[in-house]
Amino acid sequence: MVTYTRDGFPGQRMRVLPRPLVTRATQSGLTSRLLVTDAGYFPHAANHGRSRPQGAREAVVLVCTDGRGWCDVDGGTVPVRVGQALVLPPGTGHLYRADVGDPWTLWWLHATGSDLPDLLAPMAGSSRRVVDLHDPARVVHLMEQVVQALERDETAPSLMAAAGAAWFVFAQLGADQLAGPRDEAGPVQRAREYLLEHLEEAVRVPDVAAHVGLSTSHLAALFRQATGGGVLDYLTRTRMARARVMLVTTSQTVAEIARSVGYADEFYFSRQFRAVSGVSPSSFRKASRAEQVH
């Protein structure tokens, strides 16, 4: 029988609430409606996998940001690729695992509570275990907020903050599932892919529009309709999401990280980072490392 690694990956982040706290938190208040019991980030999780023939007690959400993996569920095997989320309701037997040649990078959470059935309703059914994310950067940002809240401490405010971010995760997953698969050949998706491929470069909206064969104004309108924001806003949020991960998981300087996400000017990058994340890059790194001390 194959033995999989549950955790312990270099650069990982993980929080698991003690069961007595879970019991108390689910008995009353906002956290009785939704409570995140476990959450984390596993980069390049080689040989990662979990087998739960009877399912988990909570709903499980895995968001793949790199590599790929597989899940045996409902009598079949489904792939989980970049830009997708695997959603497993409580009590759903499964075996998920990273691909051997291209192991996934995951943001993940477990959640329980009385609101969960309604939040999972759009993903109900064996054909809806994997959700195509229409705006992966937005979902990753929310998952990161969940992890940050639990890393802070286990007080009621932190549990409520994690629950709030998780509620938006489930709502976004439900919306994306109801909206149907992404149009991989559509101009908005091709524009997103172009932006992701050029994070390290200076990007102009007219260049993106030309790449997908639209006028600048037409692309801007379609992009805003699909994502709720503008092209440059999406690019900035995506860059900052990558920068936050690099600040926590690498020893690169702020200037090096700035260049790797498309900013030649370290000080301009820092201003943009603060505008999006609420703190400077150095403060974010210091706080994240302090929270990881066990």
Superfamily, domain 13-179: Regulatory protein AraC (2.60.120.280)
pLDDT digits (tens, 9 = 90+) for 227-274: 778 999 999 999 998 899 889 888 899 999 999 999 999 999 999 999
User: Where are the domains positioned within the chain?
Assistant: 13-179, 187-291
Domain 187-291 class, CATH top level: mainly alpha
pLDDT digits (tens, 9 = 90+) for 131-147: 999 888 889 999 999 99
Task: Pick the closest to residue 245 from 82, 110, 105, 131 (CA basis).
Answer: 105
Q: What predicted TM-score, i.e. pTM, was given to this entire model?
A: 0.70
pLDDT digits (tens, 9 = 90+) for 147-200: 999 999 999 999 999 999 999 999 999 988 887 766 666 788 889 889 988 989
DSSP labels for 219-261? HHHHHHHHHSS-HHHHHHHHHHHHHHHHHHH----HHHHHHHT
Q: How far apart are CA 105 and CA 98, in angstroms?
A: 9
